[in-house]
Amino acid sequence: MVITFIEIFLLGIGAGIMGSMLGLGGGIIIVPALTILFGMSMRTAVAASTVSIIATSTGAAVAYLRDRLTNTRVAIWLEMGTALGALGGALIAGVINQRVLYIMFGLLLGYSTYNMFKARKQELPSGIVPDALSQKLRLGGSYYDKALGHRVDYQVTRTVPGLIIMIFSGAAAGLLGIGAGIFKVPAMDQVMGMPFKASTATSNFMIGVTAASGAVVYFARGDVQPLVAGPIVLGVLLGAIIGAKLMVRLRANLIRLCFIPLIAYTALTMIYRGVKWW
């Protein structure tokens, strides 16, 4: 039992480091690892993964908030979208064709992959003109970049399109149980014109709230097994603290380079899932 605890704990540390640096939940690692390597049921794995998303978010957010990488105003504006979208997704779950959704979201992520690849050499966005709503809500931000050694002031644009994408991403999370962070990062980075590091840190901040509503349901159903979720969450908390310390010192280009294969992989799996039973 001790050995299994330690193995699950180490898996958690790895997932926590990766998730916190990229603004993702880490389910992309945790779910396959628990089901394939440890032979656990999908229900147990998904429940443990959902609780560990909260751990990734909470553990890393402390450092990101202190460094002002997290844009709390953008986060709260977009959380409205994810929360309402998740609710809407849950309500229409019975009447919608999941395959179409998988393909739609898969293509959307494929397009994001392409854009992210095009922007791979761009360290910071330039020439972003804030729209009227962004100015009214004072969404612009500023942080000290430890990798570049100077302060970065930035503006936020396309405030409403960003919110609309969040509604869809919330619905995707509610309907398909995926996409804690993978839609949020490109929405902020590519659509709203935020710096990549601010996008991943803000995504990290938001995913805790998205996951909390899902986790309550898993708790109520009794899917959260303390002996599985316990060690993994403890590992993820530690990993997220380490990951956040690393991320603030890294260049945006390097973080983006790690993000691209993951988003490409997710896009392909989603399209595959949609096509498989066509």
Partner 1 sequence: MVVREDSVETKHEAIELVLARLLRLGSLVAAALLAVGLTAMVVGLTGIAPRLITAGLLVLLGTPVLRVAAAALIFVRERDWYFAFFCAVVLAALATGILLGRAGG
Contact residues for partner 1, defined by CB under 8 A: 1-2, 5, 51, 54-55, 57-59, 61-62, 65-66, 68, 70, 72-73, 76-77, 79-80, 83-84, 86-87, 90-91, 137, 208-209, 211-217, 219-221, 224, 226-227, 229-231, 233-234, 237-238
By beta-carbon proximity to partner 1, the closer residue of 89 and 274 is 89
Q: Least distance to partner 1 from the beta carbon of 89, Å?
A: 10
Q: Least distance to partner 1 from the beta carbon of 177, Å?
A: 12
By beta-carbon proximity to partner 1, the closer residue of 5 and 114 is 5
Tokens for 152? 């970065």
Tokens for 28? 């992309």
- The Cα–Cα gap between 207 and 181 comes to 6
Q: Least distance to partner 1 from the beta carbon of 207, Å?
A: 9
- Rounded to the nearest 10°, the torsion over CA 181, 187, 188, 189 is 100
Q: Residue 142: which H helix or E strand, with range?
A: strand 141-145
- The Cβ of residue 220 has, within 10 Å, a number of other Cβ atoms equal to 9
By beta-carbon proximity to partner 1, the closer residue of 57 and 112 is 57
Q: Least distance to partner 1 from the beta carbon of 131, Å?
A: 15
Q: Least distance to partner 1 from the beta carbon of 188, Å?
A: 16
Q: CA angle 182-106-191, nearest 5°?
A: 50
By beta-carbon proximity to partner 1, the closer residue of 163 and 191 is 163
By beta-carbon proximity to partner 1, the closer residue of 21 and 109 is 21
- The Cα–Cα gap between 205 and 244 comes to 12
By beta-carbon proximity to partner 1, the closer residue of 62 and 100 is 62
Q: Give the type of residue at 61.
A: A
Residue 154 forms beta bridges with which residues?
A: 141
Q: Least distance to partner 1 from the beta carbon of 210, Å?
A: 9
- The Cα–Cα gap between 137 and 273 comes to 39
